[in-house]
Amino acid sequence: MSDYIRGENAFLHAYGRYDILLEKGEGVYLYDTNGKQYLDFYSGIGVNSFGHGYPAYTQALKDQIDQLTHVSNYFYTPVSIEAAERVKEATQLEGVFFCNSGTEATEGALKLARKYYYLKHGKADSEIISFHSSFHGRSTGSVKLTGNPHYQEAFGPLIEGVQYATLNDIDSVKSLINERTGAIIVEPLQGEGGLSLCKKEFLKELRELCDQHDICLILDEVQCGMGRTGTIMTYFQYDILPDIVCLAKGIGAGVPVGAFVANKKFAEAMAPGDHGSTYGGNPFVCAAVKTVFDIMENDRILDHVQDVSAYLIQQLDQLVEDYDVLESRRGLGLMLGLVFKEEVKPYIKELLDDGVIVVSAGANILRMLPPLVITKEHVDLFINKLKKVLG
Residue type, 18: Y
* pLDDT value, residue 155: 87
Instruction: Please state which CATH number belongs to domain 56-298.
Output: 3.40.640.10
Q: How far apart are CA 85 and CA 80, in angstroms?
A: 9
Q: Give Cβ neighbours of residue 237 (< 8 Å, ≥ 6 apart).
A: 188, 200, 229, 230, 231, 332
Instruction: Please state which CATH number belongs to domain 6-54+300-390.
Output: 3.90.1150.10
Strand 29-32 versus strand 37-40 pairing type: antiparallel
Domain boundaries, the chain: 6-54+300-390, 56-298
* pLDDT value, residue 193: 85
DSSP state of 157: S
* pLDDT value, residue 192: 87
Element (H or E) spanning 183, and its range? strand 181-186
* pLDDT value, residue 391: 87
If the chain, 391 residues long, is cut into consecutive pieces of 10 residues, what is the mean pLDDT of each piece? 88 91 97 97 97 98 97 96 98 98 97 98 97 93 89 88 97 98 98 93 98 98 98 98 98 98 98 95 98 98 98 98 97 98 96 96 95 98 98 87
Tell me the sheet residues that pair with 88.
none
Residue whose C-alpha is closest to residue 142's, from 197, 101, 188: 101
DSSP 308-337: HHHHHHHHHHHHHHH-TTEEEEEEETTEEE
